[in-house]
Structure 1
Amino acid sequence: MTSARPGPRVPTATYRLQLQPAFPFAAAESAVPYLASLGVSHLHLSPVLEAVPGSTHGYDVVDPARVREELGGEEGLRALARTAREHGLGLVVDIVPNHMAMAPRHNHALWEVLREGPESPYARWFDIDWAAQDGRVLLPVLGGPLRSQRDHLVVDGDVLRYHDHVFPLRAGTAGLPLPELLDAQWYRPVWWRLARTELNYRRFFSISELIGVRVEDPEVFDATHAKILQLLDEGVVDGLRIDHPDGLADPDGYLARLHEATGGRWTVVEKILADGEHLPETWPVAGTTGYDALRHVDGLFTDRTGAYELLGRYRAFAAPQTDRGGNWEATVRRAAYKVLTHELATETDRLTRVAVRLCAASPDLALRDRAPWALRTALEELLVRMRVYRPYAAGDASAVVTEEAAQEARLAFVVAEEAEAVGIVRRLLVEPPGGPSAPDHADRVEFRARFAQTASALRAKSVEDTAFYRYVPLLSTTEVGGDPGSPGVSPDDFHAYCARVQRDWPGTGTVVTTHDTKRSADVRAALAVLTECPERWARLLAEVTRSEGGVPDGQLAWAAWQTVFGLGPAEEERVRAALLKHVREAGMYTSWTEQEAPYEEAVTAFVAAGPCGAPGEQVAAFRKALDPHVRANVLGTALVHLTMPGVPDVYQGTESEYRALVDPDNRRPVPYPPEAPGEKDALTAAALRLRARRPEAFGVSARYAPLTAEGPAAGHCLAFDRSGEVITAVTRLSLRLAEAGGWQETRLPLPPGRWADVLAPGREFTGHARVADLFEQRPVALLERVAEGVTEGVTEG
């Protein structure tokens, strides 16, 4: 590699493209002129390395040394980069260090491990527990118990076939009878249901099709990052998005190694921060991918008081038990217990084995004589009380696994001496692991790492993938990075957040819609209006529910009606698919692994007859009556996102009004240019072009200052000043505003100078601007300081 790399270039704005066979590099290249005209500085590409054939997302990598052929291969990527450069754009690429696809027929490294076992040079790549399962990799691929599937296991030369699966045979075993042949392999094909308790490799969350990669090993890091580093070194790629660093054994060490290898290129990490949690200061990154920004932007347009009233109406309508969707904290706790004992049972077993080993071999007698069940219980009780995704090696585990949580965890034990297991587990997490020469050093390091990895998987599965589908009073708050138990963000809290971002992480990413959001920003913006009219919403639902029978359950009905309200004109197939995913994730009446056909059929029938049937027309009419307030939230969300501190990432198609539900609905290719651009397109382009034209007003050395309106409706105007050069002003809670009599004589004191309305050329303001005039044409305003001497069209305060 060359020694003189260009310095890190911080994007002014990025545009996310979901690459897939239906939208390859060539399609992205064709869209470059349009995307450049928007005003972004970089294209943000989903994973580009070789993935499972047909993959629509690319996170199931099979070969990190090759650019994906289905997308156009390396030449296609280089051609895209050249065209992007010609139009002034760079490339940011999403990379996946945590896992690869468990697809041996496509994953050469994994194939060799299954063929040669732990002696394979690739064995160190994968996080496999060779001490378990008699030293064989469990492969949960069979459709039933082995006896019922044996006729489908066919030896074909030097491979073993099972339907679409192909596995290598260990040398010299092809001629053995099937039972002996299976016993002679370095792997064990089993019924897929055994994965829950018997699996002996680390997964991505609970997805057995994705196997964990040991990038903490320097050789594995080098092998799996060589192609990406080459593309960075040769200027094809400019920056990186890091997928799921929480799954790594040592995120601190990984990010430090990556920072050195890339020469400090602009890098953001997909880190979900809990409310009040901050990104580790030691991480050499520009910041997060932006889910913390999403929570704050959404919260601005949510009426906190109305959200709690909506919760009361929801409880009365659905009558859920407190721990099954009626109370947020109780719902999360119940979901966490369920995930630990079901989806993550094998991960908990592995962690328990390390704890047992540490205690049994410890020279400290206080750790001896600890029953495995007690250590497992202590681990479970501490894990379910985690309020963040995981502790980090560079942080203080005692601040994450708190003594207060430990005190609660002890209540799970009847015998006081057995409750001591909680303190022992916490001690193993909090105490430094000692020097490398200590006999238990390796086990202590492994215990801390696996606890952190299990904690992050638990948080994701129990909160994002379970509780978010059980606790549904307001669907717009059940979003990645969100906190449904604390809906709404005050202007003061929003300003404090923005000031902190500008000070500490000015190059961080910000988002409002991604490939992982459960509902796009425009759907959530519409749903937030319901917090301004909770009584009207509950009354409407009571009416449409009375007129339509066959409701499967109250929680599902409440979520279904909100879904079609947020989506607007409802396409039955999209709503049906999203709601079937909803009920399976919730896991209360059906699930992905135990599907209850009668219940799912009832859901399908309800969607067709209710939300997407004649009663749905009443909800459509209700939404139409609220259109001005939905518009205010949609435009306000977009403008705040595009002008607040950080680097905004515009998800594909969201420059236009974009209504999408959970994946795969939100990963569909979109047309370029948009078929029918509207006012949101104009706003997005104006804001992005302003950022490109005035980078000093928004960049890492910019300033952020709140502006406070004065008058009877001051709380409904959210405004801020960027570096004394740009002002953003938006309307919040516009329905409440209208009911209170409008803006009246509310004014916004502007900094000295003349300010031109970027969204309406010819309009200018100065002094104390009347907010009613400021928002005369639209519920938002974007002002730019203009040179002295320009006097036409001035509105004086």
Structure 2
Amino acid sequence: MNGLRATIRLQLHAGFTLDDAAARVPYFARLGLSHVYASPILTARPGSMHGYDTLDYGRVNPELGGRDALCRLVACLRAHAMGLIADIVPNHMAVGGAGNRWWEDVLAWGRDSVHAHYFDIDWDAFAPWLHGRILVPFLDRSYGAALRDGMLRLAHEAQTGMFFVHHHEHRFPVCPRHYAALLADVGAPADLCAELGALTPAGAGCRGDVPALSRLAAWGATADGQAAIARIMERHDTRTACGRSALHELLGRQSFRLAWWRTTPDLINWRRFFDITGLAALCVEHEDVFDAVHGHILDLYADGLIDGVRVDHVDGLTEPAAYCLRLRQRLMAVQHLRPATAPQHLSIHVEKILHEREHLPPSWQVDGTTGYDFMDQVSAMLHDPDGTALLDGLWRDHAIADPTFADTERNARALVLHEVFPAELSGLRTLLAAIAQCSADTCDYSVGRIGAVLSALLMEFHFYRTYFSDDAQGGYQADHAVLKAAAHGAKAHLLPSCHDMMDWVVGILGRTGTRDASIHEAQRRFEHLTAPLAAKAVEDTSFYRYGRLLSRNEVGSDPGKMALPVARFHKDNLHRHKAYPDTLLATATHDHKRGEDARMRLAVLSEVAARWHDLVNRWIVRNAHLRRRRMTPDRADEMILYQAMLGAWPLVPWPDADARQEFHDRIVAWQVKALREAKRHTSWTDPDMEYEDGCREFTRRLLDPRASGPFIADMDMIVATIAPAAALNSLAQLLLRLALPGVADLYQGTELWDFSLVDPDNRQPVDFMLRQTMLQQDTSLHQQAAQWRTGGVKMYLLQKVLAFRAQYPLVFSKGSYEPVEVSGAAEKHVIAFVRRYDGIALLVVVVRHAWGLVPSPHDLSLDMSLLEQTYLSLKVSGNGTWRSIVHEGRMHAPATRLALSFLQGGVPVDCLVQI
């Protein structure tokens, strides 16, 4: 069995099951992969396309084939010496709808439920009428209107004997203790009513497997029972005034308060995943909740059916460090139970967005992140800083508001904080005010002024979170620095009279070693607000508003930062090599904003900024007549649209009208999402159909050859012009991902060119048969380069390097990382390094900013005049001949100074091995 070396991320769902994955394992093995890295496999909401909406942590999703299919997949993987990493979702689970027993138990019994502490609920909410109740904002209209319009319906579930109130796909359980009153009025047996009236949360839960409910179900199946239950339904029928009054009175006695979904931002009293009301946060910091969420995953590991885990959204947990330590301890505790055919190695990776100045805390004892940090670094290194000024100017000329990303982010933060998370802000503000009242020095700090200070702090807090609420975190120096920097920035926007209050707020939020429950709760609430605020304001708003260069608007990236120097890139790799050599290296994920090759194509615009500047200005004038009405889309949305089209534009002209229509449909679907995420003219909650229709019509006309022939010709021209340089960007990105310190991660389908847009476009079905057929071809890099537009050149490079990595895994897992000095005419265009282990050396060379090297549109080869005058300086020459593992027959004599002339006559990337 191989160790963790290279993974492929698969998106599992009913249309691509565990058995479908098993059928592809021989292909994955031939490609050179060591592990399948699967999206969540436990039971999710029916029809889920991603698996993050878990309903039941206790079984493998039957829509994926269940445990039997998982066993078949693992047997196939073991036969090919491969393993399985499972994505787990400890942060949240699906609520609303039906089928979540834990959640329904809480709705039925309120804070007395045995599952009440599973969810992060504020039972003493700031709204007095919500005290002891949980807001359930799933109604499609106001509560009164839903009652009046007959959209709430009492129903009896014959199988379990339980009563629910239904609203579309949602069901809300009536507390079983209230059944007695309902049944007594219709002549039910007195002993049954007495038994039901004596039910307790511990004795009943929200299940149909207790004696009293079983008796009710049995009695309900009799003629008398059916008639009685029919009378109950009639008495609560909202088609009559009496029925509405009766149902309203019944609902008023429940532990939940039904509400219109629009009340959510202001009134929500439980924590969600970001702002998604259908996903409720879990409190896995409680040991029994941890056990309930992870019990089956531990069993799967003990049974040898998984070999590692990927933890989703680790920053959403209250105590990430403590969680990670407990997870590793629990998994290691059952490792001795694993069958002999399963490896003993355990990998734990966490999904975490790292700020530029942030590192994964070593106290967590995990193997690394899922690779967003690498995706940002390698992309930035392949952008040219020389294009910054022109692209800045182009954006500033046409996007009147928010000319910089800092402006964009600040305005988006203000919008999201006060319109999406006002309840969370209000709860934290109220708690801090209560803490202030406990001291004579701060008792005059009013709720309003504390709120203003807190808002200013949140506006300047650019990291995902601090970790003061996590006692297992270890040192807090970095967290103190983050808070201090945010406070310093916030004071510039506050009156001097508020500065002392800011210092006090920061002191409370950053206090360590305290046993004060209120302070600990304030820290927890702050940390649970900053992460979703960053995600929604930056990634899900600002990234769709700021359009200087979309290739830098990627998860984990800072769009305000155009490029990364090679020296800093080497420094980041050296840190990764030392601290997290088994971290994942990703350049595409299920959450990326655009495909890895679309990103690399857009990166070329940083090199041809002048040409793009002129082209966009020409389009803005020429295409003005295509608008259905004035400024629809506005200039910012128009410029973003052009870049999205450029990134996804086909490498060869559309073969027919159907292909053009398919592209149109993809762009329009992306456009609607982008406009609504931007929240400038329209949004998901308040869509402006007139603006959206105008943008859709503009896009339709842009892609109509009869209306926009010159534009389409221009786009064909610019894509064809930059495509060779973009392809070399992509191949450089690929080779770096495969050879740098870390575990190479491949996203499904990206073996060939990936010009996808944001999800769901990047989760489309993958044609694995095509890829399998291409992989079986007897070919060479030279042959693939001659037809590079098919993407075969990318797959060939991937397979060759992965094969070498499989043959010499220790070179990558334990080998050194040695940056190579580049000097000469093209030194800014080259990055090189050596991996060395036990007498084996691997020299990796790629070009960057390839536009300036004039790549051939025929085979991607370069004008060699600059490279012939450029040299690599090796610290150790070695005794063996350098042999290329990707270019057949290429060899080079050992030397401490190598001219880059060896890149001549082919794709200008290479891996040279010396053994």
TM class by shorter-chain length? over 0.9
> Shift of residue 433 of structure 1?
4.8
- Are the aligned partners of 1:26 and 1:76 in contact in 2 as well (CA < 8 Å)? yes
Partner in structure 1 of residue 408 of structure 2:
331
| Cα separation, 1, equivalents of 2:485 and 2:830 | 41
**Aligned AA (1:725):** A
SS at match of 1:366: coil
| Cα separation, 2, equivalents of 1:472 and 1:666 | 21
Tell me the alpha carbon deviations over residues 674-716 of structure 1, each in whole angstroms, 9 at most, x when there is no partner: 35741101011111111111111100x2210111233211221
> Shift of residue 292 of structure 1?
0.8
Aligned equivalent of 2:883, options 734, 750, 756? 756
The percent of aligned pairs where both chains have the same amino acid is: 35
**Aligned AA (1:617):** A
SS at match of 2:833: strand
For residues 78-227 of structure 1, what are the structure 2 equivalents within 5 Å?
A: 78-103=71-96, 105-132=98-125, 133-150=130-147, 151-157=150-156, 158-171=163-176, 172=178, 177-227=246-296
SS at match of 2:84: strand
| Cα separation, 1, equivalents of 2:906 and 2:487 | 57
For residues 537-616 of structure 1, what are the structure 2 equivalents within 5 Å?
A: 537-548=612-623, 549=625, 550=627, 551-569=632-650, 571-610=663-702, 614=708, 615-616=711-712
> Shift of residue 76 of structure 1?
1.0
SS at match of 1:493: helix
Distance 1:265 1:365, change over 3 A: farther
> Shift of residue 531 of structure 1?
0.6
| Cα separation, 1, equivalents of 2:329 and 2:409 | 39
| Cα separation, 2, equivalents of 1:697 and 1:258 | 30
**Aligned AA (1:139):** V
Tell me the alpha carbon deviations over residues 449-471 of structure 1, each in whole angstroms, 9 at most, x when there is no partner: 11111111111111111111111
SS at match of 1:118: helix
**Is 1:340–2:414 an aligned residue pair?**
no
Tell me the alpha carbon deviations over residues 44-83 of structure 1, each in whole angstroms, 9 at most, x when there is no partner: 0000111010010100101111110100011111211111
| Cα separation, 2, equivalents of 1:770 and 1:147 | 79
Partner in structure 2 of residue 269 of structure 1:
350
- Are the aligned partners of 2:3 and 2:34 in contact in 1 as well (CA < 8 Å)? no
For residues 20-31 of structure 1, what are the structure 2 equivalents within 5 Å?
A: 20-31=13-24
**Is 1:351–2:428 an aligned residue pair?**
yes
Partner in structure 1 of residue 852 of structure 2:
736
| Cα separation, 2, equivalents of 1:350 and 1:96 | 26
For residues 382-781 of structure 1, what are the structure 2 equivalents within 5 Å?
A: 382-393=457-468, 394=473, 395-396=476-477, 399-410=480-491, 412-414=493-495, 416=497, 418-435=498-515, 441-548=516-623, 549=625, 550=627, 551-569=632-650, 571-610=663-702, 614=708, 615-675=711-771, 677=774, 678-699=792-813, 701-723=814-836, 725-738=841-854, 742-749=866-873, 751-752=877-878, 753-766=880-893, 767=895, 768-781=897-910
**Aligned AA (1:756):** R
Distance 1:108 1:679, change over 3 A: same
SS at match of 1:368: coil
| Cα separation, 2, equivalents of 1:397 and 1:117 | 39
> Shift of residue 648 of structure 1?
1.3
Q: Which runs of 5+ in 2 are unaligned?
A: 157-162, 183-231, 237-245, 333-344, 651-659, 775-791, 856-862
Distance 1:492 1:414, change over 3 A: closer
| Cα separation, 1, equivalents of 2:911 and 2:704 | 38
SS at match of 1:725: strand
Q: May I ask how many residue pairs the two structures share in their alignment?
A: 766
| Cα separation, 1, equivalents of 2:571 and 2:144 | 62
> Shift of residue 154 of structure 1?
0.7
Question: 569-578 or 407-416, which moves further after superposition?
Answer: 407-416
> Shift of residue 493 of structure 1?
1.0
Tell me the alpha carbon deviations over residues 219-243 of structure 1, each in whole angstroms, 9 at most, x when there is no partner: 0001110000111111110011111
| Cα separation, 1, equivalents of 2:642 and 2:703 | 6
- Are the aligned partners of 2:97 and 2:169 in contact in 1 as well (CA < 8 Å)? no
Partner in structure 1 of residue 229 of structure 2:
none
**Aligned AA (1:182):** L
| Cα separation, 2, equivalents of 1:610 and 1:332 | 30
> Shift of residue 419 of structure 1?
4.7
**Aligned AA (2:247):** L
| Cα separation, 1, equivalents of 2:56 and 2:364 | 27
| Cα separation, 2, equivalents of 1:398 and 1:56 | 37
SS at match of 1:50: strand
Partner in structure 2 of residue 239 of structure 1:
308
SS at match of 2:834: strand
**Is 1:39–2:32 an aligned residue pair?**
yes
**Aligned AA (2:418):** T
> Shift of residue 103 of structure 1?
2.9
- Are the aligned partners of 2:817 and 2:833 in contact in 1 as well (CA < 8 Å)? yes
| Cα separation, 2, equivalents of 1:404 and 1:748 | 41
Distance 1:433 1:709, change over 3 A: closer
Partner in structure 1 of residue 188 of structure 2:
none
Tell me the alpha carbon deviations over residues 493-521 of structure 1, each in whole angstroms, 9 at most, x when there is no partner: 11111111101111111100000000111
SS at match of 1:578: helix
Partner in structure 2 of residue 791 of structure 1:
none
| Cα separation, 2, equivalents of 1:775 and 1:390 | 49
Q: Which runs of 5+ in 1 are unaligned?
A: 1-5, 436-440, 787-797
| Cα separation, 1, equivalents of 2:65 and 2:428 | 42
**Aligned AA (2:12):** L
Question: 287-296 or 369-378, which moves further after superposition?
Answer: 369-378
**Aligned AA (2:914):** R
Partner in structure 2 of residue 794 of structure 1:
none
> Shift of residue 785 of structure 1?
1.7
| Cα separation, 1, equivalents of 2:120 and 2:399 | 44
- Are the aligned partners of 1:657 and 1:680 in contact in 2 as well (CA < 8 Å)? yes
- Are the aligned partners of 1:10 and 1:507 in contact in 2 as well (CA < 8 Å)? no
CA RMSD in angstroms, aligned pairs only: 1.9
> Shift of residue 596 of structure 1?
0.5
Tell me which of the two structures has the higher relative contact order, counting C-alpha pairs closer than 8 angstroms and 6 or more residues apart: 1
| Cα separation, 1, equivalents of 2:481 and 2:145 | 47
Q: What TM-score do the two structures reach when normalised by structure 1?
A: 0.93
SS at match of 1:103: coil
**Aligned AA (1:32):** V
| Cα separation, 1, equivalents of 2:535 and 2:617 | 34
| Cα separation, 1, equivalents of 2:379 and 2:517 | 44
SS at match of 1:214: coil
